[in-house]
Amino acid sequence: MDLTQPHRRYNPLTGEWVLVSPQRAARPWLGAVERVTREQRPVYDPNCYLCPGNRRANGAVNPPYTGVFVFDNDFPALLPPTANSGPTDGSAHPLLRAEPEAGVCRVICFSPRHDLTLAELPPAQIRAVVDTWVAQCAELGAREDITYIQIFENKGEMMGASNPHPHGQLWATRGLPTEIVKETRGQLNYLQRAGSHGPLLVDYLEIERREGGRIIFENDHFTCLVPFWAVWPFETMILPRRHVRRLTELGEAERDALADALKRLTVRYDNLFNAPFPYTMGIHQAPYDGQVHDEWQLHLHFYPPLLRSATVRKFMVGYEMLAQPQRDLTPEQAAERLRALSEVRAF
């Protein structure tokens, strides 16, 4: 098949398709142009509610932390379980279905410094972030009222970040989120069909390493690539080289390697358009429901919105909202551009 012509690509993780239209990459752009924020931020901002020693909106005072700082979100999307947050009684009409949801929302400050991003943190500090993710999963995953732990970072105003201080979030829920239900189903279906083969993403990585065209870089334990089925223009995925179901299964060397991969990818992103690169990053892992989940493979998704420059973004509207996602730049072209970039931050 000629991949330079319009075609669809299948995502076996979610069971969804993406329309690829390479011929549209040259179309003129007269739409919205974003503002590029490049102001020099101070090392410490007295008005930032995440900086050490500052008072937050709810009145709590941050400790004078010097490493990674975790606290319960002051304005959480989920509340702790109560006597009224048990399973639904099923009395509602099936077309009007609702059920209580409870959980934990936490903020994870990557560094006490207000002026840095993940791409600018030293590797040892990124390793401390990875260790914190693991520790949080070990703590919350042991709770009977938690089934899934979603760790994510929204970087940049374009992605809705409410504060530029380097931080991410953790939402731990009793129910399985929609994307995790889809990825569990896709991976389980593959494992049941594959017979003697391994988990879906383990087999997929073997194919990608053999073909090579969508791989950006590798280290001893992780591979960073543009997925064959990528939706966002410069979407990437970080995958372990061995079968790892959850963050809590990572060994010491693998934690170092994950920190290395995060550093190398985020620096390349910043160098792509010579500007701070916005994205949503999320860690997908097996549920913490007491089941083994051999079908699952730990992986990280990066969903950046930028399309042509630091000021022109991809919009998911029209056909994308009503039919299926569509992209102009092919995953192979995106990988080639990211692969060619320096891993030394250029500004």
Annotated catalytic, 167? yes
Residue at 248: amino acid letter: T
> Which phi and psi (to 5°) does residue 217 adopt?
-165, 165
- pLDDT tens string 325-334: 999 999 999 9
Assign domain 39-74+101-339 to a CATH class: alpha beta
Structure tokens, 211: 């073909």
Separation between Cα atoms, residue 135 and residue 217, nearest integer Å: 27
Residue 2: what pLDDT?
A: 85
Residue 23: what pLDDT?
A: 83
Residue 32: what pLDDT?
A: 57
Mean pLDDT by 10 residues, the chain (347 residues): 91 98 69 64 97 96 98 96 62 86 97 97 97 98 97 94 95 97 97 85 98 98 98 98 98 98 98 96 98 98 94 92 96 97 95
Residue 340: what pLDDT?
A: 98
135's enclosing H/E stretch is helix 123-141
Structure tokens, 324: 């299926």
Separation between Cα atoms, residue 139 and residue 123, nearest integer Å: 24
DSSP string, 197-238: S--HHHHHHHHHHHH-TTEEEE-SSEEEE--TT--STT-EEE
Bridge-based pairing of strands 222-225 and 215-218 is: antiparallel
- Set 114, 167, 284, 301: catalytic member: 167
Q: Where are the domains of the chain?
A: 39-74+101-339
